[in-house]
DNA sequence: CATAGATATGCAACCGGTTGCAGCAACCGG
DNA sequence: CCGGTTGCTGCAACCGGTTGCATATCTATG
């Protein structure tokens, strides 16, 4: 409300003197702090840091910052963190929260809350569409001619795992194949190694495996190699994520590209937008992209039988195309 | 300053009413916020998240929180973040900062600053003793009988790389060996793959390689395998860190265990302790631990020659033990 | 030239705590 | 029984900004 010239002169002098206005004091009156709280289960899992980065980036450009919380997969800590961080942030982003829906909704009474990788009724949320991606992946395998496809899921007991499995079952059934659902394993290299041994002992041949974790895929890759199976000549492999390690196979592995950073950015956008006064909270679904590399190929000839009949069966690949073709 | 009984009753009622005292307002008067700023170059490199976790954990137990900054390896952003975060935190932890010493010292004029993975004159700091670890590693290789050892360093231009290389040179010279310093490479799988091709074309045989990054090691592992070289029969490999991927080789890889989380915790402790009034700022050196697995073994017979003379030279390993034996 | 209307300026209250001091009551010793 | 000391309570100022209002200045108009 002062003359533009004066204003400029003042701010110039202020800058010279190194004056910076105190964010804390400002926050006290205005009520907003420029901070966004991000609560993740852990940073040890490489899945989460990219999401934090995704929030960070657009926020920093707007002069804001991330206040970090690590819940350690504990609902109690999650609640405590919300209470601790809540009053000093403009909004809260809960990544893969473990608290029950009701608790999440109560958090949102005081300030904008956005969930990531989980939805809660009444709350805005961002989810990565891995189920949709799994469908693409299965169609890809079916299109190559695979009919007996194994699904190696996990993490054991997780909500996302159920979503993915359901999508896989539907896609494979629609494509006229058979999905062999293996027991869920933890997302670790050695789990893949162990599963490889299990796989080669299968009576009925499996020609393709979809794995939910790159780590497991790497183990599988190596374990199958040890057993003398070549990828992709003898068996196809694909993963439903593309963490860094996915680039560490030879040949390169087919996988779903999961734009985690984008998920973070979207969450950041949502949390800073309208405090969700609307009756229907915004939901963002991040599409995955199937990246076909060289770990998937047509099944070996004669392997499309559904049980171990002699291998000199008619070797033509099934003629019908997969039920739904997808763009990449 | 009120009767204990009254005090208790009041705080009880307050708790019932869900009262929480406003951290922002408190910060305004007291000057401290309970927040610690952590500025990392990036979260994409798996080296950094564990450090953040290390800061987080003890801080959370004390009721504090982490205010995160990502500098993207830019000195400008680093400075800006310091100015932005500085006024609202009790202390700043700069992880692998890129700003010049003078700038770092000027940051510390306003608030406690601790560096991690870098030292700056006058500032408290936490460094992981990879140079010391490299010495252990070199002694291990020398003890196995290796005499021509390659050092594959990086990241290109980094301060830590110079420290490590110096340690390696000294250790190998002391042990009567020869260190072949290869050009630094970025910490990526494909860099290892490329270097493997380069290595197998060496005229004079190299029997062991020390790599600064697990990712590069993995690439090297695979690249050498492609070239028909077996690890460790034909060549030994070891890494100077033990990020998750180090567990993904067969045989398991010898590496230095680097307690990154501990480094974070120590930094947290330093930043919260005395504001460095002492003339000599505290320095913490985190020891690494050499984990010997199966990627290192005695060099192939006849390979200890220092140039490509015919292979029927006296094949006895040099008789003198490595200059210094170390506990694990 | 006087005055209404528009525009600028300065002032005071407030955000929600902390802190130091004045005031009052109780307690002690002389 | 009284003055002095101690212990607790309540009040007011302050942290460093923001905000709204009242006052002062300026411009335009009758």
> Does the CB of A286 have a partner CB in chain B at under 8 Å?
no
Q: Report the percent of chain A where pLDDT is more than 90.
A: 72
CB B241 within 8 A of CB B212: yes
Query: For A284 and C17, how far is CA from C1' in angstroms?
Result: 40
**Confidence at residue A314, expressed as pLDDT on a 0 to 100 scale:** 39
**Confidence at residue B201, expressed as pLDDT on a 0 to 100 scale:** 87
Count the neighbouring beta carbons within 10 Å of the beta carbon of residue B137: 29
Rounded to an integer, the average pLDDT of A286-305 is: 88
Smallest Cα–Cα separation from A66: which of A30, A34, A43, A102?
A34
Token output for B137: 């590693």
Element containing residue B162 per DSSP (H, E): helix B159-174
- The answer to whether the beta carbon of residue A29 comes closer than 7 angstroms to any atom of strand C is yes
- The model's pTM: 0.87
C-alpha dist (Å) from residue A120 to A70, A95, A166:
20, 12, 20
CB-based contact A245 B250, cutoff 8 Å: no
- The answer to whether the beta carbon of residue B17 comes closer than 7 angstroms to any atom of strand D is no
Residue A250 has pLDDT above 70, yes or no: yes
State the pLDDT confidence band at A282, using cuts at 50, 70 and 90. very high
Distance between CA atoms of B72 and A71, rounded to whole angstroms?
26
Residue of A43, A84, A87 with shortest CB distance to B53: A43
Q: What is the pLDDT of residues B123-163, one digit of tens each?
A: 999 999 999 999 999 999 999 999 999 999 998 888 889 99
**Confidence at residue B203, expressed as pLDDT on a 0 to 100 scale:** 81
Rounded to an integer, the average pLDDT of A239-262 is: 95
**Confidence at residue B144, expressed as pLDDT on a 0 to 100 scale:** 97
- The answer to whether the beta carbon of residue B21 comes closer than 7 angstroms to any atom of strand D is no
Smallest Cα–Cα separation from B46: which of B263, B213, B160, B158?
B213
**Confidence at residue A128, expressed as pLDDT on a 0 to 100 scale:** 94
Q: What is the pLDDT of residues A100-140, one digit of tens each?
A: 999 999 999 889 999 999 899 999 999 999 999 999 999 99
Q: What is the pLDDT of residues A197-232, one digit of tens each?
A: 999 988 888 999 999 999 999 999 999 999 999 999
Residues 6+ apart with CB under 8 A from B197: B223, B227
Q: Which nucleotide is nearest to B26 (CA to C1')?
A: C17
State the pLDDT confidence band at A274, using cuts at 50, 70 and 90. low
Query: For B7 and D10, how far is CA from C1' in angstroms?
Result: 16
Q: Is A250 exposed, middle or buried (0-12, 13-18, 19+ CB in 10 A)?
A: middle
Query: For A6 and C9, how far is CA from C1' in angstroms?
Result: 13
Q: Which nucleotide is nearest to B31 (CA to C1')?
A: D15
**Confidence at residue A307, expressed as pLDDT on a 0 to 100 scale:** 39
Query: For B3 and D10, how far is CA from C1' in angstroms?
Result: 15
Strand ranges of the sheet holding B35-40, from the earlier edge strand across to the other edge: A283-286, A125-128, A113-116, A91-95, A35-40, A65-70, B65-70, B35-40, B91-95, B113-116, B125-128, B283-286
Pairing, β B91-95 against β B125-128: unpaired
CB B41 within 8 A of CB B72: yes
Write out which nucleotides of chain C lie closer than 7 A to a protein Cβ: 8-9, 14-19
What is the tally of helices (H) and strands (E) in chain B?
10, 12
CB B283 within 8 A of CB B119: yes
Range B313-318, long-range pairs (CB < 8 A, 24+ positions) = B317/B145, B318/B145, B318/B147, B318/B176
Distance between CA atoms of B183 and B90, rounded to whole angstroms?
41
Closest residue in A to B29 (Cα) is: A25
> Does the CB of A68 have a partner CB in chain B at under 8 Å?
yes
C-alpha dist (Å) from residue A33 to A37, A61, A87, B118:
11, 15, 9, 31
Closest residue in A to B61 (Cα) is: A77
Q: What is the pLDDT of residues A72-99, one digit of tens each?
A: 999 999 999 999 999 999 999 999 999 9
Residue of A22, A65, A88 with shortest CB distance to B85: A65
CB A258 within 8 A of CB A289: no
Kindly report the average pLDDT of chain A as a whole number.
Answer: 87
CB-based contact A24 B24, cutoff 8 Å: yes
How far away is chain B from the Cα of A241, in angstroms, using its nearest Cα? 16
Rounded to an integer, the average pLDDT of A161-175 is: 95
Cis peptide before A155 (omega within 30 of 0): yes
Distance between CA atoms of B100 and B139, rounded to whole angstroms?
34
Who has greater pLDDT, B203 or A48? A48
Residues (pLDDT < 50) of chain B are: 1, 304-328
Distance between CA atoms of B232 and B208, rounded to whole angstroms?
9
**Confidence at residue B16, expressed as pLDDT on a 0 to 100 scale:** 73
**Confidence at residue B158, expressed as pLDDT on a 0 to 100 scale:** 83
């Amino acid at each position: 409300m002062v003359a533009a010239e004066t204003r400029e002169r003042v701010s110039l002098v202020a800058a010279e003197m190194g004056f910076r206005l105190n964010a804390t004091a400002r926050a006290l009156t205005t009520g907003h702090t420029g901070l966004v709280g991000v609560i993740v289960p852990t940073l040890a899992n490489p899945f989460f840091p990219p999401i934090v980065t995704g929030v960070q980036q657009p926020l920093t450009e707007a002069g804001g910052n991330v206040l970090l919380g690590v819940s350690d997969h504990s609902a109690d800590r999650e609640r405590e963190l919300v209470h601790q961080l809540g009053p000093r942030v403009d909004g809260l982003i809960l990544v893969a929260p473990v608290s029950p829906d009701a608790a999440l909704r109560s958090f949102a009474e005081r300030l904008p809350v956005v969930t990531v990788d989980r939805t809660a009724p009444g709350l805005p949320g961002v989810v990565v569409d891995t189920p949709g991606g799994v469908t693409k992946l299965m169609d890809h395998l079916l299109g190559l001619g695979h009919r007996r496809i194994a699904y190696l899921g996990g993490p054991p007991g997780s909500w996302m795992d159920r979503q993915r499995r359901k999508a896989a079952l539907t896609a494979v059934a629609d494509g006229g194949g058979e999905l062999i659902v293996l027991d869920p394993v933890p997302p670790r290299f050695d789990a893949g190694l162990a599963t490889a041994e299990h796989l080669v002992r299968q009576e009925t041949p499996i020609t393709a495996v979809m794995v939910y974790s790159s780590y497991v895929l790497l183990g599988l890759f190596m374990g199958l190699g040890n057993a003398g199976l070549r990828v992709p000549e003898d068996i196809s492999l694909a993963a439903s994520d593309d963490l860094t390690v996915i680039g560490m196979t030879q040949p390169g592995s087919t996988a779903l590209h999961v734009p985690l950073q984008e998920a973070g950015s979207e969450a950041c956008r949502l949390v800073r937008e309208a405090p969700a006064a609307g009756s229907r909270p915004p939901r963002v679904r991040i599409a995955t992209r199937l990246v076909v590399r060289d770990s998937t190929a047509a099944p070996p000839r004669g392997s499309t039988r559904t049980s171990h009949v002699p291998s000199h069966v008619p070797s033509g690949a099934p003629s019908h195309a997969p039920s739904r073709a997808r763009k990449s």
